[in-house]
Structures are given as C-alpha cells and as structure tokens.
Chains A and B, each alone.
Chain A
Amino acid sequence: MKSNVRSLERVENIKGWLLSGPYWIFAAIFFGYPFVWLVVLALSKWNFISPRETIWLDNFIKLFRDPMFWTVTWNTIRFMFYFIPMGLTLSIALAMAFSKAKRFKTFFAMSFLIANVSSGVAYSIIFTQLFSTNGPVNNFLYDHFGVFIPWFSDPNWAMFSIAIMVTWKFMGYYALIFLAGLQAIPKELYEAAEIDGATKWTQFWKITLPLLNPSIVMVMVLAITLTFGIFTEPFMITGGGPLNSTQTFMMVIYTDAFLKYEPGYAATMSIVAAGMSFALILLTRKLIERKVEFA
C-alpha cells in the first residue's frame, strides 16, 4: 500500500516537473541569466569592447555622488505627483461614466483602449505638433485669451505636459480595471444607502471608494511601475530638457549604456531604480491596501 502511494507520488512529481519544466527553462534563459548578468555588470567597468574589469561597488558610490541621479529621482517624484492623481481621478470618473452607459458600453471602453495600444512614437509626434508654439492649442489660446503656454519648452511645464500625455494614454486602460471593480460592488449596498437617505456624494465616499480599494491598489502599482519605466515620450519630445527637467531613469540608463559606453554604470542605475520602485510599491500597499469583503 505504502509503496503504491510512493510510486503515485513519484509519478505526480515527474508530471509536475515535466509540465512546469518549459517555464523554468524559459525563466532561466530570459530572466535568470539576464538578471545574473545585470548584477555582474553593475560590479564591473566595461565598454562592450575591451575586457571587463571588476570594480565591486565603485559604480554604486559613483551613482550616489552623481547629480544626474538625484535630478532624475526628483523628476520621477514630480512626474508621479502629476500623473497618479490625474490618472486615478480621470480613470475613476471615466469608469463611472462607462458604468452608467446603457448602450455601447463595450464600444466606449474599447475606444479608450486605442490610446493605450497606439504607438508611443506616433502619438508623441502628434502631441508635439498639437502643443507646439504655432500648434492648434496655442493658436487657440493666443487668439481667444491672449495667452501662450510653453508646454514643452518651459522647465516648469514640460514634465506636467508629458504627464498629461501619459494620462491620456493610460486613462482608458485604468478605467477598465475600475469598471470591473465597480461592477463587483453589490447594488444592494447602494439601495440600502438610498433608503437610509445617503446622497450620491456620500455613497461615493462611503461605498464606492472603499470597495474599489483592490482596484485602486492595482492601478497605483501599475502607475508606479510605469513612472520608473517612462522613456518614449520625453525621449521623442523634449530629449530630457529643458534644463534636464524631463530626464528619466530609462533615458539616462539608455544614454549611459549605449551612447557613453558605460553599461556597468547603467546596470547599477537600473538596479537602484528597480529597488526604489519596489520599495515604493511595498509602501503604497502597506499604506492604502485594505481587506475588502462584499458579503
């Protein structure tokens, strides 16, 4: 009896390894090996061509002394400060609008996803043209109000303008996540609240928002990850300027690795940036994640 159980366990064990084996091989090749290589690079001085030299923690010391690292960290915080409130508010509003739609709900939702799947390069060019000095937005503002906004050419405006673009791109995607969250909230809760005399505003603050917590946490996690990975928009539109106000981690990592031939230093910055985003995600979850039960 015992031996039969053992033999069954062995068969199950083999089956398990066989089924998960391809994934492990894939993960080892495409995640494990690059990760190990990333750590090796971060501890090295190399220019792609000459032999690699191990310099241990020198790249990390150099990084924390590099003013560009601190500029980029500050830019990332500024971007988050603009993007997360804008993205959350607009996508929740959009999701609530979707949930109220009687017809073509899916069509509207999918329409907003077009921005998300469109090419970053293409829409960056379109936005550059729309918001340029002699573009339609500024022409309208100048002709009707006599004002002119230096969207991408003023250090105080440039990051905000990029945040507007990124919000436009991701608003529809985040709204779909919120829509799923809204649909999961039982209608009875609203009916009961109405009977108790709660206004729509109270219902939103006391029912909708608390019960949307899992979706809010998910969107926050996605938004933080996105913030540390932003590249196409500033690269295409501002080149990191004016006065380095739109330099991002990804832009500096790319420039250091492939234009300044310092992949070791770039690897160090990517590890630190990943660590920062991971820490921020943990902090966010700790601060705002709540257990939600509908029953």
Chain B
Amino acid sequence: MKKKVGLLFLTVVMIVAIVGFSEAITLTLWTAPNPNQNLFWKTLLPEWAKTHPNIKIKWSQIPAAGSSEEAILTAIASNRQPDICTNIFSGFAAELISSKAIVPLDSFAGFKDLVKARDMSNVIKKWEYNGHYYVLPIYVNPMLVWWRKDILAKYGFNQPPRTYSQIYDLAKKVVIPHRRYVYQAVTGVNWWSRWFDFITDYYAASGGKPYIYPEKQVAVFNNKYGKEVANFIYTLFKDHYTAVDLGNLPFYNGAVVGMIMGPWSIPYAQRQFPNILKNDVVVTPPPVPDNYPKDKPIYTFADTKGMIIFKTSKHKEAAWEFMKWVYSNPEHDVLWIKLTQMPPAREDLLTNKLFAPYLKDPVFAAYAKYVPYSVPPALSSKTVSIQQAMTNKLIEPLMYLKTTPQKALNDAVAAVNNILFQ
C-alpha cells in the first residue's frame, strides 16, 4: 500500500513538473510611447510569437505619465516594473545602474556576438559604465544643421557655412531685425535643450571630446573648445545675428536660415512642408571654430535611447534571448528605418546593401553618415541638475549678455562640479 501511495505521489510530482516546465514564460516589454515605434513592435512581435511559442511577450507602451522616467520610477517603487524596457536615455540609465536596478548585458552569453552582428562596436563603447554595458542602444539620432538653400542662393552663397566666421559673414547679409536671423544658437531653456545646442556645438568644436571627464566625473568644458563655443553663442546674440525668441516654426517660415534638427524632423517636414524639404534643405554637421582641420570629421551629439533588462526579472535569460533576436537580424533594423526614419545604432548603414534604398533620401543619408561620429551625453545620474546649471550659469547669461563668455563658462563648470561632488 505504502509503495502504491509513494508511486502515485511521484507520478503527480512528475506531471506537475512537466506541466510546469513546459508552460510558456511571459515577458513584459515596455516600449516608447511613440506611434511610429509602436508600429514597429506591432509588426515585429507576431514574428517572434511564431518562432518562440514558449516565450510570450506581453507588450505595452510605457504607461502614460509626465515622462517615461516618471512612469518607470513609479513602477519600480511599486514593484511593477517590466522585464524589458526601451526608451532609456543615458542619464536615467546611470541612475538605474548606480541603484543596481538593471542587469549588465555583457554578463550574458553571446553579447559580443550580438555587438559584432549588429556592427555596433564603436557605438556601444560610448555606453560603457564601470567597465560594463547595461544598455543596448536602439537608435542614434545625430544632431545636424538644416540650412535654407533658397535663402543662401538668394544672397549669393552656393555652400552652407561651415565655420563660425562663415556664419558671421552670412549673418551680415541675411539678417533682418525681428524678421530673419542667421542661426538658432539656443534651442530653449529646458534642461534637455542643452543637448541640442551647447553640447552639440561642444562635440563639434572638440572632435567629440567629453565635457565631463568620465572616470573622475569632473566637468571640463571651460577648456579651449568650450571657450570657442561660448564666444560663438555670445557673438550671435551680441551682434543680433540671432534672437532669444525666433517665433513659430522659424526654419520653415524663413525666420532663421540654419537650425539644428534631429532626424525626427524628416517625417514632420514630409507631411507639413514637403516642398521645402525636397527643394530648399541642405544638411551639414554643426558649425566648427575657424581653425578646425578641414580633413577631420566633425562630431556631433547623439540623441540615443536604449533597451535594458531589469534585475527583478524572473526570466533574464529569456529576456536576453528576445533582445538578441530583435537586434541580430538586420532586416529588423530595415523595418525600424522604414517605420520610424531614425537611424538604428549600427555603423554599417552606408555599406550594408539592405539599407541602400533608404539612402536615396539625401536628408536621411546625411543622418546615417554621421552615426559613427555621434557622441551620447555624459553618463551621469545627475544629468538634469547638470544641464539646469548649464542653462542658468552659461546659456542664459550668454543669451541675455549678462556676463562674459569666460566668466559664464567658469561659473557653469564650478556649478556642475559642485553638483557632481555632492
């Protein structure tokens, strides 16, 4: 009798174990609340479901909130975070890393193979933190300058300006007070605006050198490159070549001849200003100081976001499997370009034949070309405070001519270092 009961118990345990092990794993995936990116995941996920019946993906947008970071933090605080999440910018990644909330991706088998397969060895280097890689960059949006070809031609300029002096020369001809200015020197006073003006210009002037020294976490942008950029911004405002407020849609309205833009402006221009985009736009890297070598590539800022796996995930290996599947197939990046028109984080955009059809568009081709020369922001958990200090101590004093460029730079560096040392 005892034997029979024992056998029955063993059978039940085995059945439960078999059923349990064969049950599909469910991973929660949160992606950016962006209609084009939604379309990408909506198209891709059924393919995964076909080939991976045992790993189900429960996909949703990052819940509605003031920002993605707010939604994710609230989820972490209430222990409802997903397994995998996209739309992670460097500053937020640094906070998650320092709080040990996410997993180093280089701890998984096949990490190096994925980096190689996606041709992203240099791109991913800029995401290294404490000797590890925690974020897989999805896309890299280089910041480039759009110039109004028609206005340049009207004033006898066949080429857009490359250096600061060339911009001043252009300004002397095209500026009409309160009507038209030469270049948008400052993109706003929000903390993130610094990515698209001072930091972009600094990377261009310095050949992609850091503005915060990564190992020691010390601000160094009051060097000769920072001085060049601060002088450039100051001169534009002092000589009335630019203005604090350039009005609505200044580029398309012709209120400004040149403006820093991201590739997300392409679909917008295609819908709203197709003629201007087709006939009157020429794209260049950000302006550089007069002595910048002509044969040296010009670097720029990379607006880049990535994907992470949370430490709380019960199925980290499965999450990594999913990540590998998405990013090891270049066809998926082709789909990404087709639906989002943002360059994926890979260095073979100009050489891989799969992407050739999209390079026929000269504006997108310009962005693709600058992916290898695009540098993400400093990996710091204090990004918001740092960039607010840059705004208050550097950019606003330059805009309103409150102080000299040198003093503004020194004040900003002191303020940023104070934040970093806290």
Interface of A toward B, CB cutoff 8 Å: 47-50, 128-129, 132-135, 138, 142, 148, 150, 152-155, 238-244, 254-255, 258-261
Q: Report 11 cross-chain contacts, Cβ distance below 8 Å, ordered by A residue.
A: A49-B100, A49-B101, A134-B246, A134-B253, A153-B244, A154-B244, A155-B400, A240-B190, A242-B399, A242-B400, A243-B400
Do A48 and B399 touch (CB < 8 A)? no
Distance, CA A98 to CA B22, complexed state (A): 73
Q: Distance in Å from the Cβ of A277 to the closest Cβ of chain B?
A: 22
- Known contacts A47-B95, A132-B248, A150-B245; can you find 19 more A-B pairs with CB under 8 A? A48-B76, A49-B73, A49-B77, A49-B99, A129-B248, A133-B178, A134-B247, A134-B255, A142-B178, A152-B245, A242-B396, A243-B392, A243-B400, A255-B388, A258-B66, A258-B73, A259-B191, A260-B384, A261-B73
Bound Cα distance A260, B178 (Å): 37
Contact B189 A258, beta carbon cutoff 8 Å:
no
- From residue A85, how far is it (CB to closest CB) to chain B in Å? 27
- How many of chain B's residues touch chain A, expressed as a range? 35 or more
8 Å CB interface, B212-233 against A: none
B62 to chain A, nearest CB (A): 13
Q: Are A242 and B189 in contact (CB under 8 A)?
A: yes
CB neighbours (8 Å) of A244 from chain B are: 392
A135 cross-chain contacts in B, Cβ below 8 A: 247-248
- Residues in chain A near residue B243, CB distance under 8 A: 133, 153
- Residue positions of B touching A, CB distance < 8 A: 66-67, 69-70, 73-74, 76-77, 95-96, 99-101, 178-179, 188-191, 193, 243-248, 250, 253, 255, 381-382, 384-385, 388, 391-392, 396, 399-400
Nearest CB of B to A201, in Å: 42
A241 B396 Cβ-Cβ under 8 A: yes
Residue among A134, A138, A155 with the highest chain B CB neighbour number at 10 A:
A134
- The interface centre, meaning the residue of A129, A150, A238, A241 with most chain B CB atoms within 10 A of its CB, is A241
Q: How far is the CB of A248 from chain B (nearest CB, A)?
A: 14
Question: Do the beta carbons of A258 and B247 come within 8 Å of each other?
Answer: no
- Contact indicator B246/A239 (Cβ below 8 Å): no
Most buried by A among B69, B73, B100: B73
By secondary structure, the B interface counts as loop
Cβ of B76 and Cβ of A241 under 8 Å apart?
Answer: no
Interface centre among B69, B99, B247 (most CB of A within 10 A): B247
The reply to whether B396 and A258 contact each other, CB–CB distance below 8 Å, is: no
Would A148 and B178 count as touching, CB distance under 8 A?
Answer: yes
Give the complex CA separation of A47 and B76 in angstroms.
Answer: 10
Query: Which residue of chain B has its CB nearest to the CB of A125?
Result: B248
**By the criterion CB–CB under 8 Å, are B247 and A133 in contact?**
yes
**What's the Cα separation between A128 and B245 when bound, in Å?**
11
CA distance A261 to B93 in the complex (A): 12
How long is the Cα–Cα vector from A243 to B385 in the complex, in angstroms? 15
CA distance A14 to B47 in the complex (A): 61
A259 to B385, CA, bound (A): 9
Q: Which one of A47, A153, A239, A258 lies within 8 Å of B99 (CB-CB)?
A: A47
B399 to A, closest residue via Cβ: A242
B248 touches A238 (CB 8 A): no
Q: Is the CB of B67 within 8 A of A258?
A: yes
CA–CA, A19 to B243, complex, Å?
63
Closest to A260 in B: B384
Complex partner residue of A150 from B73, B244, B385, B392, CB under 8 angstroms: B244
Alpha-carbon distance between A138 and B243 when the two chains are bound, in angstroms: 15
Cβ B253 vs Cβ A259 within 8 A: no
**How distant is the Cα of A47 from the Cα of B73 in the complex, in angstroms?**
9
**Cβ B384 vs Cβ A255 within 8 A:** yes
Cβ–Cβ < 8 Å partners of B245 in chain A: 132-133, 150, 152-153
Q: Which residue of A lies closest to B311 (CB)?
A: A49
Q: Is the CB of B255 within 8 A of A133?
A: yes
- Nearest to B99 among chain A residues (CB) is A49
Q: Which residues of B contact A133 (CB under 8 A)?
A: 178, 243, 245-247, 255
Q: A254 and B66 in contact (CB under 8 A), knowing A49-B76, A135-B247?
A: yes
Contact A132 B247 (CB under 8 A): yes
User: How far, in Å, is B194 (CB) from chain A's closest CB?
Assistant: 12
A288 vs chain B, min Cβ distance (A)? 36
Q: Which residue of B lies closest to A155 (CB)?
A: B400
A49 to B188, CA, bound (A): 31
Do A258 and B69 touch across chains, with their CB atoms under 8 A apart? yes
A259 touches B189 (CB 8 A): no
Question: Which residues of B lie under 8 Å from residue A258 when comparing CB positions?
Answer: 66-67, 69-70, 73
